[in-house]
Chain A
């Protein structure tokens, strides 16, 4: 059925014929039509990946196939979302090995974007925990791949934005937990310099991420809150929590019922928000034991929070810079604060080492920002791209709706290898998205 679809940024919006399948033979029938398509999960990437005139949705292909409670090996179809997985595994003492900031993504999407979490410097990205997975190519052949077998297909699928085929089945290893709570430490940093020192001093923490107020200038440039966490042990819990240490968080969701007018987010309101966000932590350091929900998924509590950016939507901008390019980080942040484009909070995180051909993470600082779509934004982001490239960094395709092909090319030195693998497995070249067309990933 034709409908208008968009990803989380509500930009761009396109007309698409979205088709679903519940069984392998239904997927085969869809592939028999031999028209171009892109696989699609829950549409929680931000830009134009997973958008195309024809999309094949995995959302109905969402069954749990096996879960070994003693070893934590979990296998499911690709359309299952992380929130459903958590409901099953947490009460049994297991957790996702890696989780992004929303639990409303499918497992297939987690692989295609090779998502990372607050623990990247310790545990790597999602693909590091995959034991094996099945990919259905546009020729209908189903291929099982893993780090050991059909390795090239495996590597090109992790972070490959769905271009290698339809991911249908994923088997991965969960992380053992004693409780469903997180021992959380929040530390305030008065400026960027302090923040980077704090990151260094706390690198042994499993989870770490910082929210930066990017409108502050002068001595408080880069003031921020560093959030650290560890899975809590039984002994960390208070008596009430200990009664049911593996409890699921209570669902408290509010809905953003309509699009806010675009003018609501302006420099003044964003400044006020950021002030409150920083000031709410009265003490310099706060230590608490909280449920995993507010720690990992603070924004999931507000359904459709993306509507806060209005009908025109927003663009996420996430890049990574090598550790030695701290100066680049400062330059980008100061450009943003000078421009006053109204990015709410910026999220900073330190990535650990990672070897991959098309996955985004690599060792360094990664910063993610939201910008409401408005005139001048795209030109401004092009300027930032130049700084990122100059520093030897790169951009995250899952967030991207606008980068130029040269930017991708220079950020990902193995891009040629990636394209070769895509062509090897899908010589007909029927799998492409608006993003891959834009970035020439799939043209011959």
Chain B
């Protein structure tokens, strides 16, 4: 039986991924800053799918503890999914460095710190899969997502580099670029229904892409083309737009 580690399991996509992997008979290690919140999810997937699920305390901002956290996992997970991330009020983040720094440190530095750890371990074992959930926002910086988009851009670049580094070591790295998703993070935004996914759809697409060993997957697929257009708008035009 294979084991998956979900970093950031209290997020809506994290919970949906836990269910999806459990339904495919994976044992599931649920990691979050407040693991006690995950007891209901733990019982739920264990009862539904007859798998083993464990809870682990993990704080993306406590870089110093990442090594001991990962080394304490037993068994070492075959698949690690990094799905944690925060989206704060951008105006607030622009004015208050504390808010901006927390966003950068969670979405970028924290992710790099733990995934370096995971990748080292996978390289030494010569197997394993790392799945990083980034965002289409990282494909091009813009005013309304100033800090968030740049932190995700960094994370996307990191995942691409890590994929390159790990390829010859038989370790696969997959980048996931979700577009709009109905989650707690976006509950107060009014999202256009036809291009917005549910966490369950996202989890299903990620699982399929994992099986096919995809490199970069957009959720849903048309976001690849939406972002292609956005990336190709000339800068002299782009800077004048309200995005």
Contact = CB atoms under 8 A, between A and B. Distances in A.
Interface of A: 1-2, 19-20, 22-23, 25-26, 60, 63-67, 77, 87-88
A22 B184 contact: yes
Nearest to A62: B44
B212 interface: no
Interface in B3-40: 10, 12, 15, 37, 40
Contact of A1 (B12, B41, B43, B187): B187
B140 to A, nearest CB: 26
B48 interface: yes
A390 to B, nearest CB: 48
Interface of B: 10, 12, 15, 37, 40-41, 43-44, 47-48, 184, 187-190
B15 A22 contact: yes
B187 A20 contact: yes
Contacts of A20: 184, 187
A2 B43 contact: no
Contact of A22 (B12, B188, B190): B12
Contacts of A2: 190
22 contacts: A1-B187, A1-B188, A1-B189, A1-B190, A19-B187, A20-B184, A20-B187, A22-B15, A22-B184, A23-B10, A25-B37, A26-B184, A60-B12, A63-B43, A64-B44, A64-B47, A64-B48, A65-B44, A66-B43, A77-B40, A87-B48, A88-B47
Contacts of B12: 22, 60
A22 B44 CA distance: 13
A63 B187 contact: no
A2 B189 CA distance: 9
A65 B15 CA distance: 15
Contacts of B190: 1-2
A358 B194 CA distance: 42
B41 A63 contact: yes
Given A2-B190, A67-B47, 12 more contacts: A1-B190, A22-B10, A22-B12, A23-B10, A25-B37, A26-B184, A60-B12, A63-B40, A64-B44, A64-B47, A65-B44, A88-B47
A281 B12 CA distance: 49
A87 B12 CA distance: 22
Nearest to A24: B37
B187 A23 contact: no
A63 B41 CA distance: 6
Nearest to A18: B187
Contacts of A19: 187
Contact of A64 (B10, B43, B187, B189): B43
Contacts of B40: 63, 65, 77
Nearest to A20: B187
A77 B48 CA distance: 14
Nearest to B189: A1
A26 B34 CA distance: 13
A63 B188 contact: no
Contacts of A25: 37
A35 to B, nearest CB: 15
A138 B129 CA distance: 46
A254 to B, nearest CB: 21
Nearest to B41: A63
A66 B187 contact: no
A63 B10 contact: no
A29 to B, nearest CB: 11
Nearest to B40: A63
A167 to B, nearest CB: 15
